[in-house]
Amino acid sequence: PAAAAHASAFGNTRQQQQQQRCVVSYSVLPSYGVFVAAQSIQLQQLLLTQLVSCSADKTVRAWDANRGTQIKKMKEHDAIVNSVCPLRRGPPLLASASDDFSAKVFDLRSKRSVATFSEKFQVTCAAFSEAGDQIYVGGLDNTIKVSSAGLSQLSLLTAGPH
């Protein structure tokens, strides 16, 4: 109710109101009966009934936003997972970034990650390009790297330190 009132006060669309209600309702997600603060929560754009989250418990999770139930748990990272980003269009892919010096791409239809990018420093963020053919990765080395099509390797983006 509060999120809907806030959304309508700013003239947001019905989709944006639903998105805000989901984020408000699931700002902290259950993990083995113990609440762990979520590092990042994103609404799956294609399926407005799904949320994805990452956490200090080293996991990336997909959730049914209507039921509040976990759909899938991915636990391949060895340290805190800092960010998660769903692909906006196409297959159900997620990009994650972790303090274990890696970024991973998960396909919700697969048991294991479909790509891993190893770095020399902790990775703090990962995101897909709008077209979904590239992934951007940033970390404590103060650079942003981008993958080529096919998500095979990362190369330095010429933007330099930020």
For residue range 87-117, what is the model confidence (pLDDT) as tens digits? 888 888 999 999 999 999 999 999 999 999 9
Helix pair angle (2-9, 14-25), 10° resolution: 140
Q: Would the pLDDT of 11 be above 50?
A: no
- How far apart CA 94 and CA 85 sit, in angstroms, is 5
* Phi, psi dihedrals of residue 16, rounded to the nearest 5°: -65, -35
Put the strands of the sheet holding 69-74 in their side by side order.
Answer: 28-31, 34-43, 50-55, 60-64, 69-74
Give me the pLDDT at residue 89, please. Answer: 83
